[in-house]
Structure 1
Amino acid sequence: MNNRPSLGFDDDIDETVTAEPAAVLDLSDFKPTPAKRPDKAAVAKAAEKTQFKSREPKAVAAQPAPVPSPAPVAARATRRRRTGRSAQLNLKVRPDTIEAFYAIADANGWVLGEAFEKAVELLHQASKK
């Protein structure tokens, strides 16, 4: 016996339920029926009526080659090193400020976090004067 309340099911966990062996299922008369597929024209008409937009790719006729996109202005070097910095700071700045910040970091060989720390240090020293 256990002291747990009943969960409302007919059988208890502690009781052993003996089931009778299952009878062998006779499938000799079973004949599967083919799946009924809807008419493609009717499906297309219903889709058009409800303004359904298909995700299927459309057949592309021979088109002129696409115009290549312009090359990026300047590919930036990867600035990753293990530094122990784990917090992230996201800022909205002007594009020219970003470029200047990257240029300073690249010129000194700093990762961006290191360049930010140097800038904060200089601002802190300037505020003490």
Structure 2
Amino acid sequence: MNRIRPTTFETVEDDPLADLAQIEPVPVRQIPASDKVRKIADEAGFTARHGKAERDVEEQAQATFDARSLRKTGRSSQLNIAIKPGTKDRFWSFAIEQGFVAGEDALLALLDSAER
């Protein structure tokens, strides 16, 4: 490995940067006014990227349907609530005493009794 390293300031033949006159600046792209863009988009039939507020909840749920979240029990939603540890113990004690396997079944029984 007896390769000779070139010095930093040594002149190189066929240097592409030797003649900088051939380099031209890139023109700045003009950005059109947003109201003009909105008008053109409306005429062309484009819609906004965000959904409309009046969109039905069921349509929104269908749009975000993900089959991986489904279970064979049919439960596809989750309810998370912040409770004290004692309340959680009390809930599961109630569920076990009543013979419920799933927390949803115990919750439904409590809701049914509260609605009577």
- State the TM-score, normalizing by the size of structure 1: 0.32
Q: Which has the higher contact order (CA 8 A, sep 6+)?
A: 1
TM-score by length of 2: 0.35
Q: Rg: which structure is higher?
A: 1
